Chains A and B, each alone.
Chain A
Amino acid sequence: METIAEQPAMAPMGIDPMLPSQYRIQGVRQETDDTFTLELLPVGSGNGFSFAPGQFNMLYVFGVGEVPISISSDPDDAPAIEHTTRVVGTVTKAMRLLKRGDMLGIRGPFGSHWPVEDVAGRDVVIVAGGIGLAPLRPALYRLMAEREKYRKIVLLYGTRSPEDILYRSELEHWRGKFDLEIQVTVDRAASTWRGNVGVVTTMIPRAPFDPSNTTAFICGPEVMMRFTVMELQKRGVSAQHTFLSMERNMKCGIGLCGHCQYGPVFICKDGPVFSLDHIAGLLSKAEV
């Protein structure tokens, strides 16, 4: 297996990766108090837009600015795409005000992807924290679309409170299919919450997977990912089969500007999905 998830074509041939394509907003879904999903369709044919689970786009709010956001929809629905994001800065605040029919510029897709095709015949454990579930959602779609190829699929999802659970109805739908083990936990809850309370890492020791034949996909805050890695390693999941999606301040999306340098790699070009053995030494380094 490659140490970096093999990259598909970044953008259709002949398309300038610095030139945004126009997308029209088909809908805006409020997911939680501070998180929303944009449903987007390309204006025109979409120029053959396709993406792999884990890749991201640069979303341009005209006259405001551009931000990198992971694609969170089903890859098989492309060129229709969805982006789930939290309101955190100027651009995402402006983005939240957009309505159905408004336009956005999109560059991408960029970066590496979850190696979904390489994990056939294995258990797959997906550990998501907070909005980190969004970049993993396309992987879940792809895994569920070809469910028979994989052994156990386990989703461990931790978030701040019950009100912050993303894609709630979808999680319930998947849970009802009985071929995907879903465990959700929250960091804090009133007594009315009928589920787990505690950090997501506490679910790893007893999660139903065979560590010797497991591939892990992890996405969430870096602290959460570090502790998740430790717990997975305690269970015996190898670094080679552990993949993380990293986040830094990406600007160009194609490894030219250097804003997202992470030690010897660029998150936008070499990542955002890395195998643990490729970046293990960097995870706990404050300097990077």
Chain B
Amino acid sequence: MTIQTLEPIIRANPFFQGMDDRYIELITGCAKNVRFSEGQVVFREGDPADQFYLIRSGLVSLQMMVPHRGLTTVMTVGDGEVLGWSWLFPPYQWRFDARTQEPTHALAFDGKCLRTKCEEDYDLGYEIFKRFMQVITERLESTRLQLLDVYGNDR
């Protein structure tokens, strides 16, 4: 598949909505199609984080090994969602394991390449950070709701 075919896919995703054409083009240059089979590890906790993913179809679990509880899924990421922001922040290491629950088709973006481009062009950096901050904010909000354990007996 050629790089040009990825551009409309990237442009159509709400994550990149409103982004300037030249940045879409640049980001497309850092993207490639990837496929994972069911149960495949996408990344492991502690490994270098040098990519992020846009899930086109499928479901990925973010998991952590918890003593006395075993491997625990803390959230899942599905169609149209972004997976991974550790590539943006030092020490650029994954904090969780990511494993597919079903065959998954995604776009993988070269985080190292994008980091360099963000350093060279702060406007691009702002656009990228703004979008990731939105994802981080939403996930923080969701995590807070999970912590509230609203389905307990307090209803």
Report if A191-B153 is in contact (Cβ < 8 Å); known contacts: A198-B146, A227-B145.
no
**Alpha-carbon distance A131/B102, docked complex (angstroms):** 29
Pairwise interchain contact B148-A196, C-beta atoms closer than 8 A: no
Pairwise interchain contact A199-B76, C-beta atoms closer than 8 A: no
* A-side contacts of B138, CB under 8 Å: 202
Pairwise interchain contact A223-B150, C-beta atoms closer than 8 A: yes
* A-side contacts of B99, CB under 8 Å: 191
Chain B 109-142, CB-CB to A under 8 Å as 1, else 0, gives 0000000000000000000000000000010011
**Alpha-carbon distance A206/B153, docked complex (angstroms):** 30
B69 an interface residue at 8 Å Cβ cutoff?
A: yes
Size band of the interface chain A makes with B? 20 to 34
B3 an interface residue at 8 Å Cβ cutoff?
A: no
Pairwise interchain contact A198-B151, C-beta atoms closer than 8 A: no
**Alpha-carbon distance A131/B151, docked complex (angstroms):** 8
* B-side contacts of A86, CB under 8 Å: 153, 155
Pairwise interchain contact A197-B76, C-beta atoms closer than 8 A: yes
Tell me the chain B residues, 23-82 only, with Cβ under 8 Å from chain A. 59, 61, 63, 69-76, 78-81
Minimal beta-carbon separation of A166 from chain B (angstroms): 11
Pairwise interchain contact A223-B145, C-beta atoms closer than 8 A: yes
Of B71, B76, B151, chain A has the most CB atoms within 10 Å of the CB of B151
Size band of the interface chain B makes with A? 20 to 34
Pairwise interchain contact B71-A206, C-beta atoms closer than 8 A: no
Pairwise interchain contact B146-A188, C-beta atoms closer than 8 A: yes
A62 an interface residue at 8 Å Cβ cutoff?
A: no
Pairwise interchain contact B153-A129, C-beta atoms closer than 8 A: no
**Alpha-carbon distance A120/B134, docked complex (angstroms):** 36
Pairwise interchain contact B151-A189, C-beta atoms closer than 8 A: no
Pairwise interchain contact B153-A88, C-beta atoms closer than 8 A: yes
* A-side contacts of B155, CB under 8 Å: 86, 130-131, 220-221, 247
Pairwise interchain contact A34-B153, C-beta atoms closer than 8 A: yes
Question: Which residue from chain B places its CB closest to the CB of A223 in the assembled complex?
Answer: B150
**Alpha-carbon distance A190/B72, docked complex (angstroms):** 5
* B-side contacts of A185, CB under 8 Å: 76
Pairwise interchain contact A196-B153, C-beta atoms closer than 8 A: no
**Alpha-carbon distance A224/B154, docked complex (angstroms):** 13
Question: Which residue from chain A places its CB closest to the CB of B147 in the assembled complex?
Answer: A187
Report if A201-B142 is in contact (Cβ < 8 Å); known contacts: A196-B78, A206-B78, A224-B150.
yes
**Alpha-carbon distance A191/B75, docked complex (angstroms):** 11
Chain A 173-217, CB-CB to B under 8 Å as 1, else 0, gives 000000000000101111101111111011001100000000000
**Alpha-carbon distance A129/B155, docked complex (angstroms):** 10
Pairwise interchain contact A189-B145, C-beta atoms closer than 8 A: no
Pairwise interchain contact A199-B70, C-beta atoms closer than 8 A: no
Chain A 229-253, CB-CB to B under 8 Å as 1, else 0, gives 0000000000000000001000000
Pairwise interchain contact A221-B150, C-beta atoms closer than 8 A: yes
* A-side contacts of B63, CB under 8 Å: 191
**Alpha-carbon distance A58/B18, docked complex (angstroms):** 53
**Alpha-carbon distance A105/B138, docked complex (angstroms):** 46
Minimal beta-carbon separation of A67 from chain B (angstroms): 13
Pairwise interchain contact B148-A223, C-beta atoms closer than 8 A: yes
Pairwise interchain contact A198-B142, C-beta atoms closer than 8 A: yes
Pairwise interchain contact A191-B149, C-beta atoms closer than 8 A: no
**Which of B70, B75, B151 lies in contact with A160, CB distance below 8 A?**
B151
* A-side contacts of B153, CB under 8 Å: 34, 86, 88
Pairwise interchain contact A191-B71, C-beta atoms closer than 8 A: yes
Of B80, B99, B152, chain A has the most CB atoms within 10 Å of the CB of B152
B residues with a Cβ closer than 8 A to A are: 14, 59, 61, 63, 69-76, 78-81, 99, 101-102, 138, 141-142, 145-146, 148-155
Known: A187-B151, A190-B72, A227-B145. 17 other contacts (CB 8 A): A34-B153, A129-B151, A130-B151, A187-B149, A188-B74, A190-B71, A191-B71, A191-B72, A197-B75, A199-B142, A202-B142, A205-B14, A206-B81, A220-B155, A221-B150, A221-B155, A223-B145
Q: List 10 A-B contacts (CB under 8 A).
A: A130-B151, A158-B151, A188-B72, A191-B61, A193-B73, A196-B78, A198-B146, A201-B145, A227-B145, A247-B155
